[in-house]
Amino acid sequence: MRGFSTQCKSEPTPRNVGEKRKVHVKISVVSEYFHVSQNPKPMPLIVEKNADAIISQFLGTGRAEVQAERDAVYFTRVSDDIVIPANTVRGAVRSRLEVLFDCSCYNSLGNKPSTSVSKKYKEIFKPRRKYSDDLENEGKVCPVCNVFGTAGLASRITFTDFKLTAGKVSYVNVQGYTYEVATKNSVFEGDVIGNLSREEWGMVLWGMGCRKGKFKVILMGRFKFQRRDFARVKFEVNDQDLIKACEEFETKYSKYLHDVEEDWE
């Protein structure tokens, strides 16, 4: 039975130890469409357009309800750049390690039952309940928390936003709403920075989908469990030393690792 192996836990590595390394990473869209938004729900319909009514309401109550319909659900932007936010990429990598690497615990939120978990997610990942690290009382953490941080322990890894550098943007209608999307073969680029050991970098690449030297399709973004034509991406790291480190990580921890097929039909 899969579960959390306490044999992998250790005292936290000092946060300022090790040489800092910056790894350039690409994310390519392999599905027809890809969408990430900080505000994924369409805005409500117009409540009031009449300027006189708005002014009257404000004078009478000190407040005015002005809600406008958004013409599209836009892709996340930072200034003029279309981006996948850093936290989205970081969360995708960490969550796979938490679910698929038995040496990893879940963070505390992962042990709370959720009524909103997708059936498709359960079919693909078959998640099991695990313990959470208790650094304060135990003084030890799992390998994933040692890199990504946990309560009372700072992270040793940083993700930048991933900017759209190639491809094109289009608009598609989904469930009556228009979504701005990056289309197939679009590429996003960013950096991952950390003072990690070689083995830890191998673990991070495994979380990105590196398997035996090649990167597999993983799910990320809006509609990943609802639509076949959305949310399929592949990571790319052109650093053969780190890819070799990932292969070594796979070999060393093979009895704790299990894989799933995310490119569902």
Q: Give residue 7's pLDDT.
A: 73
Structure-model confidence comparison of residues 191 and 109, the more confident one: 191
Q: Give residue 131's pLDDT.
A: 65
Contacts of 77 (CB under 8 A, 6+ apart): 83
| Structural tokens at position 120 | 């498709």
The mean pLDDT of 102-118, rounded to a whole number, is: 65
Tell me the whole-structure pTM to 2 decimals.
0.84
The mean pLDDT of 70-79, rounded to a whole number, is: 86
Taking only the tens place, the pLDDT of each residue in 122-149 is 889 888 766 666 666 678 899 999 999 9
19 burial via Cβ count (<10 Å: 0-12, 13-18, 19+): exposed
| Structural tokens at position 215 | 């990167």
Residues 197, 18: contact at Cβ < 8 Å? Answer: yes
Residues 207 and 203: their CA atoms lie apart, in Å, by 6
Contacts of 127 (CB under 8 A, 6+ apart): 99, 121
Q: Where are the domains of the chain?
A: 6-37+76-256, 45-72
Averaged pLDDT score across all residues of the chain: 86
Structure-model confidence comparison of residues 52 and 239, the more confident one: 239
The mean pLDDT of 24-43, rounded to a whole number, is: 86
Give the rounded distance of the alpha carbon of 15 from its chain centre: 23
Structure-model confidence comparison of residues 66 and 186, the more confident one: 186
Kindly tell me if the per-residue pLDDT of 1 is higher than 70: no
Residues 103, 5: contact at Cβ < 8 Å? Answer: yes
